Every structure is written in C-alpha cells, then in structure tokens.
A and B are shown apart, each in its own frame.
Chain A
Amino acid sequence: MSTSVASHHSDYTGAKIGMWLFLFTEILLFGGLFLLYAVYRAKSPAEFHEATKHLHLALGLSNTLILLTSSLTAALSVSAIRRGQKYWALWGIGVTVVLALAFLVNKYFEWKEHIGNGMFPGSPALTSLSHGENLFFGLYYTMTGLHGVHVLAGAALLCVVYVFVNREKVNQHSYSLLENACLFWHLVDLIWIYLFPLFYLVT
C-alpha cells in the first residue's frame, strides 16, 4: 500500500526546475566553446573569413529550417497532450524525430564531403592552410559534432517518450516527461540558432 502511494508522488514544478538546471549546465558547456570561437575569431578574422567559404550555406540553411520546424512540432505535441489529444501528441513527437534524423543525414553528407576533400583535423590539405583556418575547422568539427550528439540524444529521448505517450503513461494529467524532453529539444535548436550564423553566415 505505502509503496503505491510513494510511486504516485510527483512534483511537477520540481521536475521542471531540475530540467532547467540541467539545461543551464548545457548552456555553459556550449558557452565555453562559443567563447573559444569568439577569441580565436578576434585573433585571426581574415583566416576565419576565408575558411567560412568552404562551408555550404544551402546545407546550413536547410538544417536551420529543419530544426526550427522540429521545435514547432515538439511545442505542438505538448499543447496536444495537455488537451488530451493523444494522437496529435504522437504525431508531433513522431515528426520531430523524423526531422531530427533528416538533420543528421544532412550533416552526414556535409561532413562526408569535407572529409572527401581532405578537410579533416590533422589532414595534409588542412595543415597546409593557415593556422586560423585550422582553428576554424577544429571548432567546426567540435561544435557541430557535440551538437550532433545532442540531436541524437534528443531524438532517442523523444522515441522513449513516444512509447510512454502511446502506452498512456504520459497523459493529460501527467506530462512532465514530454514537456521536459521538449525543453531539451528546444535547447538543441537554440544552440544551432547560434552555430548557423557563426559557421555559415558571418563571412
């Protein structure tokens, strides 16, 4: 008896505060990398300017649109579950996961082309370029790589939430898990909002 009471205990606000605290550590993790980018860019602006030309704006732009749209479907799924619309919530989560995978496929082709052109850290083609361009590509692989890992983690988390919603463990009355998973997903979008101009736009 007592265990069943304990297992039903939940703290909605506490769970959300916990999620935000975790997101703060993520902000500071990526913040450190943004700081590194800012300082190196300030030290070698011309080389960074040259290196940006190696990246394809169209790929970066399409990935930006993919992530913005996935954030929309994630947000819609939270509203849907709160109205008790289980199938709309499942639709929202499903589309978000598909868009996350589309983002990663795009990223795969992008990295494949760079590596095919011999532009990977320590490669002869890259080390023959200036120090600044090497720093740019080092930061590019580190920051988009770490972000890519977050996309993968977010998609995996949303898959788990999908199963929970389908089994109605996550429902109109208890939706913390979906809401917090979506908070994580929006943070992944938020980080890309800064990565996109820094690597593809500022030329």
Chain B
Amino acid sequence: MEHDTHPAVRNKTFISVWAILVALTMASVGASSVHAGTASLLVPLLIATVKASLVLWFFMHLKYERALFKVMLLFPLGTLAVIMGLTFVDTWFR
C-alpha cells in the first residue's frame, strides 16, 4: 500500500494553527467594530482569506502534499476569480 512520505503532523503544530485562527477571528471582530467605510468591508475578508489559507495549508495537509495537489487547487480558484472578475466588469461598467 502506498503511504504519505511525510511523518504524521505533530499535535503542537495543529494546536498552534488553531490558536492563530482563533486570534484572527477575534481580530476580525475587532476590526469590524471600527466603522471605516470600505476598509471595514475589506479587512474582515482579508483576514478570512488568511484563515482559509491556514486551514488549507496545515489542516488540509496541503503543505505536506506533492506539487500536483497545490497546482490542482489553482484551477478552481482561478476559475472562480475569472467568473467573479468578469461579472464585476459587467456590474460596474454596464
């Protein structure tokens, strides 16, 4: 049977990632209480993207996977970015 080449991820790594995720969640709550127009929209979404990347990279083991998995993920994300981009070009400039 084929196995992962890397050893099991240490518990300490996962617990640290979890602590950072909780801290970022609190930071996004704090940031949203400051009413600063567009920034109060963008900052929580940027924080969410950092959190999502941490989940993908550590919890979903992407860090430890071969390049194939990392490249594969770029396809749905790229597709989504293109669809979002083109739709907004239409929404803004119609």
Residue ranges of A at the interface with B (Cβ–Cβ < 8 Å): 10-13, 16-17, 20-21, 24, 27-28, 31, 34-35, 38-39, 42-43, 57, 61, 64-65, 68-69, 71-72, 74-76, 78-80, 82-83, 173-174, 179, 183, 186-187, 189-190, 193-194, 196-198, 201-203
Contacts and interface: CB of A to CB of B under 8 A. Distances in A.
Contacts of A38: 84, 87-88
Contacts of A190: 52, 55-56
Contact of B32 (A13, A187, A201): A201
Contact of A186 (B7, B59, B69, B76): B59
Contacts, number: 127
Contacts of B73: 20, 24
A26 B6 CA distance: 27
The residue among B14, B17, B59, B68 with the most chain A CB atoms within 10 A of its own CB is B59
Nearest to B76: A24
A12 B1 contact: yes
Q: Which 3 A-B pairs have the closest CB atoms?
A: A197-B44, A82-B8, A201-B32
B25 A64 contact: yes
A65 B60 contact: no
A202 B40 contact: yes
A106 B3 CA distance: 39
B67 interface: no
Nearest to A39: B91
Given A11-B2, A79-B11, A193-B55, 14 more contacts: A12-B2, A20-B69, A24-B73, A42-B88, A42-B92, A64-B25, A65-B22, A71-B55, A78-B61, A83-B8, A179-B61, A186-B55, A198-B45, A201-B29
Contacts of A21: 72
A71 B83 CA distance: 29
Interface of B: 1-4, 7-11, 14-15, 17-18, 21-22, 25, 28-29, 32, 35, 40-41, 44-45, 47-48, 51-52, 55-56, 58-61, 68-69, 72-73, 75-77, 79-80, 83-84, 87-88, 91-92
Contact of B9 (A10, A64, A75): A75
Contact of B14 (A61, A76, A183): A76
15 contacts: A10-B1, A12-B2, A27-B76, A31-B84, A35-B87, A38-B88, A42-B92, A75-B58, A75-B59, A82-B7, A186-B55, A190-B56, A197-B32, A201-B29, A202-B45
A83 B4 CA distance: 12
